[in-house]
């Protein structure tokens, strides 16, 4: 009997010990969804000091991972396996992810700083009511060029990138929609065109450009252009602004035939573990001072009206990076063309890339 009591005491003691240990691990860093926040963002798209400030203010540890295209990001989130608490897709990707049930509906009561966003960037067609996504940065796609390296060429049209004086002098950002969009726009078609003959024509047009293409690259495009390793590049506006900060000989133009206007918004994937922390992070990034510091650091255009007012006039008044509504009205936003058509765009882009190599 005594032995039984002893065993009973041991079992109770071990269970209590285990309960205590679990509670301890849950409360300490890295063991529970409440104490960590996994963010999945574009490369070079946040001031790292702000992540530290968020950690200090909330006691939440940030795990930060990056991607370089919507396609890569969507594949990873669709596959599951890794769970992310916050990500930053572009508009057509938000629409696609939402259609696939991958996004969590946001609790606006936990986002009081949402009031600082310029209404111009709210309630857009890819997410009416912003039920699933909150504006982070926006911009255009265009050509950055170095007038000293282009033999007197001035850029105003996509066609200029086909000029034979630019042999092996062009860098392209590694994006299926952007490169295909350039081919389509060059021919006067919409960058949302789904007509097979037009798409093949665009690919053929792009293939004609390959002698001019030095490389198709990721975030290193900024360093290469600033260091004058190439004369011109197809870039996102914010990258152009960063390049021009490094080397003021360069200029940025949005071609006259038309181009892309894009919006990158913060979302919470449905598989998120730290939903409370994700709302805290989104609200933190919406704080005007935080958003202004972030915009100044990464060089992209902020949709935060209060943050914009805090930026120096040379940034906020630069129409190349803060085009007015009349100019943006002439640009096209990517539509969610559906799973099949988006895969087809990727295929055509890969075929172009393979030909290049
Ligand atoms: C930042 C990339 C921004 C992507 N490196 C534009 N959607």
pLDDT in tens, 168-186: 999 999 999 999 999 999 9
List the residue whose alpha carbon is closest to atom 3 of ligand 1. Answer: 42
Identify the bridge partners of residue 142 per DSSP, sorted by sequence position: 235
Q: pLDDT by residue (tens digit) across 289-343?
A: 999 999 999 999 999 999 999 999 999 999 999 999 989 999 999 999 999 999 9
| Residue-level pLDDT at 312 | 97
Residue 214 has pLDDT above 80, yes or no: yes
Q: Which atom number of ligand 1 is nearest to the Cα of residue 90? A: 7
On whether both 347 and 252 belong to a single domain, the answer is yes
Q: Averaged over 74-82, what is the pLDDT?
A: 91
The alpha carbon of 205 and the centre of ligand 1 are apart by a number of angstroms equal to 25
On whether both 16 and 53 belong to a single domain, the answer is no
The alpha carbon of 60 and the centre of ligand 1 are apart by a number of angstroms equal to 26
> In 150-236, where does DSSP find H-type helix?
176-186, 196-209, 221-226
The alpha carbon of 79 and the centre of ligand 1 are apart by a number of angstroms equal to 22
On whether both 79 and 183 belong to a single domain, the answer is no
On whether both 304 and 229 belong to a single domain, the answer is no
Across the chain, which distance is largest between two alpha carbons, in Å? 100
Distance from C-alpha of 9 to C-alpha of 247, rounded to nearest angstrom: 74
| Ligand 1 pocket, residues with Cβ under 6 angstroms | 42-45, 90, 219, 236, 262, 264
On whether both 212 and 326 belong to a single domain, the answer is yes
Question: What CATH number does the domain containing 255 carry?
Answer: 3.40.190.10
On whether both 159 and 299 belong to a single domain, the answer is no
Give the domain range for residue 168.
139-261+322-356
Total domain count for the chain? 3
**Contact call for residues 94 and 132 (beta carbons, < 8 A):** yes
What is the DSSP secondary structure assignment for residue 35, as one 8-state letter? T
On whether both 189 and 297 belong to a single domain, the answer is no
Residue 21 has pLDDT above 50, yes or no: no
On whether both 46 and 119 belong to a single domain, the answer is yes
On whether both 152 and 45 belong to a single domain, the answer is no
**Contact call for residues 277 and 39 (beta carbons, < 8 A):** no
Q: Averaged over 262-284, what is the pLDDT?
A: 98
| Residue-level pLDDT at 23 | 45
């Amino acid at each position: 009997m005594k032995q039984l009591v002893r065993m009973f005491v041991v079992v109770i003691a071990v269970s209590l010990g285990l309960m205590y240990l679990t509670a301890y691990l849950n409360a300490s860093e890295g063991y529970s969804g409440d104490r960590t926040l996994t963010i999945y963002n574009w490369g070079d798209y946040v001031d790292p000091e702000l992540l530290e400030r968020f950690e200090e203010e909330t006691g939440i540890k940030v795990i930060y991972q990056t991607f370089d295209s919507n396609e890569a990001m969507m594949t990873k989130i669709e596959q599951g396996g890794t769970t992310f608490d916050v990500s930053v897709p572009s508009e057509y990707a938000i629409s696609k992810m939402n259609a696939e049930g991958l996004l969590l509906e946001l609790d606006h009561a936990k986002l009081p700083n949402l009031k600082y966003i310029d209404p111009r960037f709210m309630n857009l067609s890819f997410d009416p009511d912003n039920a699933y996504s909150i504006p982070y940065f926006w911009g255009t796609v265009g050509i950055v060029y170095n007038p000293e390296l282009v033999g007197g060429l001035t850029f105003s049209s996509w066609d200029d990138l086909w000029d034979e004086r630019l042999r092996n002098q062009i860098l392209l950002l590694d994006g299926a929609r952007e490169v295909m969009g350039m081919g389509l726009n060059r021919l006067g078609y919409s960058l949302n065109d789904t007509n097979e003959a037009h798409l093949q024509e665009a690919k053929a047009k792009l293939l004609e450009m390959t002698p001019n293409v030095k490389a198709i690259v990721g975030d290193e495009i900024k360093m290469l252009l600033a260091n004058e390793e190439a004369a011109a590049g197809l870039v996102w506006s914010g990258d152009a602004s960063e390049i021009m900060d490094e080397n003021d000989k360069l200029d940025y133009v949005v071609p006259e035939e038309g181009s892309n206007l894009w919006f990158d918004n913060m979302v919470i994937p449905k598989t998120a573990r730290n939903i409370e922390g994700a709302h805290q992070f989104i609200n933190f990034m919406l704080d005007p001072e935080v958003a202004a510091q972030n915009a100044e650091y990464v060089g992209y255009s902020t949709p935060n009206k209060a943050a914009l007012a805090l930026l120096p006039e040379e940034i906020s008044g630069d129409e190349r990076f803060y085009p007015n509504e009349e100019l943006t009205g002439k640009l096209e936003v990517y539509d969610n063309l559906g799973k099949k058509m988006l895969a087809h765009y990727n295929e055509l882009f890969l075929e172009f890339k393979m030909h290049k190599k």
